[in-house]
Structure 1
């Protein structure tokens, strides 16, 4: 006899690991696409996601429980914020990936859960417990080791932009949570966000389009495929198990990114980056264990 809760937990872990691998591959493809504007890279990334989300919505509209593209009036401000800050997060992350070690850019983007906790306090009026505050402080200390602030640090600006990417993603995820409480379906949120991002960057692409080789075009399409795969895999993961039980495995993206960065680009993070990784992942692990303990109580 199968233990269904255990089976679902294993499926949740496997799919979130798949998501982390896909997002690590996405970041690698961003780097491999070469010296192209971040706006142009973002367009292709979101174009593929919009097509995938559109296909899913069309299939569901023909099913027994059709999905409507209509957004209730009270949910529109949250959707707009999700689109705007999600776009900012992607653009900042892409810029950071182009100018930092892939693993460094990935861990800075993974500050988004901590920013989500902070903005949930201000926007959703959710309390921040003292232990959560301590974990957030530890994560930001880790961030300082990775950013290595200083006037002689050539990577300071890209690192700060990477932090802004995590901040934008944190606000976006907070809005996704709010939209979920308003019964707005996930594929609809992905579709509107991806469409908005494409339209937002279109003027820049029209005015300053960088010619691409066939290889660059294929690499950017792969970027979109990996992004869509990661998005749908993480969505599936959270249908199998609650976030507080499996979210820690999302940080495996840093391991995948470090391995791929070393294999493809010969990148080796310095000791300060490793200290930063340990602090951020350690803070995430402590928050994960704390949430599990509270759930058990």
Structure 2
């Protein structure tokens, strides 16, 4: 498919944009394009959600098919991938020649399936993972990872950057979702440590705010070790003279023992200790802490 902007677009760089799905995020996505002068069409299954955008200059589409037909770029941001398919199915015939950008949160395989379905109907597809709260869309605080068509990403990078800093992570449409799940896993792991810390503090009548005041700078300092761990993991060289698995396994065992003595459950940290122990049982106690990844790697 030729995805060069149409001649009229070359004369004016303002592509027409459609935003389908007007929840909290969809609202600000549409506003970001409106603010930059793009002809912006909007559609939502609950039509009233378009009222405030129409008042700001957006065009309300009567149907999803009408919305798709109105935009060079069609951006979908709904609840899940099932909802994407439900919304777009009646508009399938209008997809030919369109650029479909899906910013709905999901998982890798549904992203790949949606990409195949969209391209099968003549559209070019990008899947995106948004890292922003709605109020930061369009600011330096927001960034979006994209996967799918590299030509689409390069052609429309300027428009995509209106939402946040854009990064292309690969041609596999599911890769943005893989990155998303990975980054969110790190976030939830941090939350797990936070909850464990607060629960332990609470057992000694220490307020959560007091623990957190000390915890945040400590976590920021500890995060500085991650790039070094990442280099070890990528190289496969886990040689260390400092933070090895033996030391950390003993330290974490002490933490678990003290936590239990305070009457606090250790279910959030115990699996990590078990991971360390598996590595030691395999004879890797002198290796870097980062070698724990080897007990998690996908097996052939």
TM range (shorter): under 0.3
Structure with max Cα Rg: 2
Judging by fraction of residues, say which structure has more strand.
2
Judging by fraction of residues, say which structure has more helix.
1
Bigger relative contact order, structure 1 or 2, given CA contacts below 8 A and separation 6+?
Answer: 1
The TM-score with structure 1 as length reference comes to 0.25
The TM-score with structure 2 as length reference comes to 0.25
